[in-house]
Structure 1
Amino acid sequence: MRRPEQGANAPSASRSSRRVQGNGGRSCTDSSAVNGDMAPSNAIPYCWQCRVELSRIGAWRRHPCSVRIGPSQLPAEVSRAGNAGYCLRVRARERKQLRSNKAGTGKGTRLHRQLSGTLNFRSLAGLPTKDGRRIAGHVVLRSDQLDRLQPTDWDLLASFGVKTVCDLRTASERNRFPNSLPEQGMRQIPIELVGDVRSNPELVEPLRTRHGAEGAVEMMRQMYRQFPEALAPHLSTLFRLFREDEVPVLVHCVVGKDRTGFTVAVILHALGVADEAVMADYLLSTRVRELADGERRAATARIIRRITDRDPTEEMIDAILDARPEYLRAALDTVNERYGSMQGYLRARAGLDEEALAELRERWLESR
């Protein structure tokens, strides 16, 4: 296995973020500077983006991610995880655990692959927790809209062991773009997370009063501040899935970024996932902006134009399509202000005390 260079021969920061071509021509992040130090012989690199051990594909420099996120787009705290939050070392003795499947799903399957018609699908298997464990198997998956999935895609989800699809869209969104689940093996539960601009017209006020990127960013912050109370009535339903063995669960909305982003962050916090790993996973949804085609950008522009009666700038469109640290932080700060902490939120609104959280983690994390 090639190891990263040191000293005078070490690759520069610009080189570490250079994109290389691989995986059918898609852009990948050059991870030649993984962790920035000499890896010990009992360590292997692990990719935050595609959730695979890089040694399995024979090189440190290339891996099959389709995500296009540069280190400069990540908050400073994420970089502590190594290589701008993308890669970390995994001890050799953990390799077997990473490939094991406590949920009985997809052993040895690559943990990141786009489904037909999706831009933002991924499994959260292997994310690290604060106590040094990891999420075991494909317990939680996330995605954008699923209405274009083909039978082979549903077969892939079945191979992951998915039992429940948690649909955060509104009734009108579900009726317009219905999911076509298999007749057996999976069920769908609707959890309408209505804390966005469709349910609260006042959220668009910053877009009207402050034209440009600044207004769009403030609108997104306000929307995220609504999420904790919008999700709160559904938390008991959501965590009942884990108690009653109705997971793996696939959580999705339309773009899999905002409503799904906060909901998944709450689940990850309940499982004890490290804060920097929660943020790093959320930031992978930057792909929504990076990979948005002309049709999606045009649709976003039409919405802005209808709200403001003015032509939007490209920066406004980018701000709405993007996943930015300040957005998720707005929701988490609201939780802290109202409940003291995420644990206080889970206790007050989901009935999860310390004992319940410990049981949840013991069941769905790798054994110590």
Structure 2
Amino acid sequence: MTLELPHAVPLDGASNLRDLGGWPVADGRRVRRGILYRSATLAHLTERDVATIAGLGLRTVCDLRGVEEAAHRPSRLPEGAERVHLAIEPTVGASLADLMRRELSTGEDVVALLRRAYLDYGTRFIGAYRDLFELLLDPARHALLFHCSAGKDRTGLGAALVLTALGATRQTVMEDYRATDRIWRRDLPMPPGTPKPLADALYDTHPELLEAALDAAVEAHGGSMPLLLERGLGLDAARLGRLRELLLE
């Protein structure tokens, strides 16, 4: 659609940090710049990175990682940014460990596990995304950044839900999701000895899984996107209009 989107913020100790601003929506407007960001983990920021992020004017950082993930690698945040933990627990860890031990495991096996996780994100953990929208509806919380570990899966669904609520097409949603493949440095460490096909499957984006997660979320909330927005994400017509006023230009 447009090669200059998304607007990435280069860092030394992290990657996949980008402004969601600039993406077009169906009514001809665009997402405002400097209001909403997504990223991978912020646990390894350098002092220069912290200064760069401070320049974004962040007031709220939503951490979508599970409890143990977040405790193991605490975020480094600039002064004035409040961390809000909206935990989405990883649900395939034990099964993934089993795959790592099996000599005949394939990338397709990993994708099958990831599919289960994505479906969970869109159903079991929809409350975390509802809380994200609650924060977005408060302008005192802006600028806001949300992230997980890679900034790809849980964060990817979050971005997809936000862009969809703002009126972006599915094509735009998927373009933002796939941008991880060129922006993320794949700097999340894998267990020693992880076979390359398994690591590649974990590192890659999987648009078909994001599509499945969105479809599962819709199905679980009445079978239509307006019902998902209202029942699942707390966005009735008035609140949806307010969200668009705040985030679109």
TM range (shorter): 0.7 to 0.9
Task: Say which SS state the counterpart of residue 361 (structure 1) adopts.
Answer: helix
Instruction: Give the whole-Å Cα distance in 1 for the aligned partners of 2:244 and 2:174.
Output: 19
Preserved contact between residue 16 and residue 180 of structure 2 (Cα < 8 Å): yes
Q: Per chain length, whose mean CA-contact separation is higher, i.e. which structure has more relative contact order (CA < 8 Å, sep 6+)?
A: 2
Query: In structure 2, do the counterparts of structure 1 residues 179 and 189 end up closer, same or farther at CA, with 3 Å as the change threshold?
Result: same
Secondary structure of residue in 2 paired with 1:218: helix
1:228 and 1:203, CA in 2 relative to 1: closer, same or farther beyond 3 A? farther
Cα-to-partner distance string for 1:242-301 (whole Å, 9 max, x where unaligned): 222112211111111111111121111122222211100100112478x436x83x5275
Are 1:175 and 2:131 counterparts?
A: no
SS at structure 2 position matched to 1:141? strand
AA in 1 matched with 2:233: A
- Compared CA separation, residues 133 and 168, structure 1 to 2 (3 A): same
Q: Tell me if structure 1 keeps the 8 A contact 2:92–2:114.
A: no
Selected match of 1:349 from 216, 222, 232: 232
Match of 1:336 in 2: 218
Q: Deviations over 1:91-130 (max 9, x none)?
A: xxxxxxxxxxxxxxxxxxxx32222211211111111111
Report the Cα distance in structure 2 between the residues aligned to 1:350 and 1:244, rounded to whole angstroms.
15
- Indicate if the aligned counterparts of 1:251 and 1:260 stay in contact, CA closer than 8 A: yes
SS in 2 for 1:299: coil
Q: Deviation at 1:202?
A: 5.9
Gaps of 5+ in 1: 1-34, 36-45, 52-110, 303-311
**1:173 Cα deviation from its structure 2 partner:** 1.8
> Mapping of 1:21-40 within 5 angstroms?
none
Change beyond 3 A, Cα 1:213–1:204: same
| Alignment-derived partner of residue 113 in structure 2 | 219
Task: Name which of 235, 243, 248 aligns with 1:360.
Answer: 243
Q: Name segments (4+ residues, structure 1) moved above 4 Å.
A: 201-210
Q: Which structure 2 segments of 5+ residues have no match?
A: none
Aligned to 2:154: 259
RMSD after superposition: 2.6
Residue type of the alignment partner of 1:332: L
| Alpha-carbon distance, 1:153 to partner | 2.2
Q: Distance in 2 between matches of 1:205 and 1:247?
A: 42
2:36 and 2:143 in contact (8 A); partners too: yes
Q: 1:206, 1:177 → 2: CA distance?
A: 24
Match of 2:44 in 1: 148
Q: Report the residue type matching 2:239 in the other structure.
A: A
Identity of counterpart residues, as a percentage?
35
1:129 partner amino acid: V
Q: Give the partner amino acid of 1:241.
A: L
In structure 2, give the amino acid aligned to 1:299.
P
Distance change >3 Å, CA 195–CA 254, structure 1 → 2: closer
Query: What is the DSSP-based 3-state SS (H/G/I as helix, E as strand, rest coil) of the residue aligned with 2:83?
Result: strand
SS of structure 2 residue aligned to 1:227: helix
Aligned residue for 1:320? 202
Count of residues paired in the alignment: 246
Larger radius of gyration: 1
Mapped to 1, the partners of 2:193 and 2:110 lie a distance apart of 12
After TM superposition, the score normalised by the length of structure 1 is 0.61
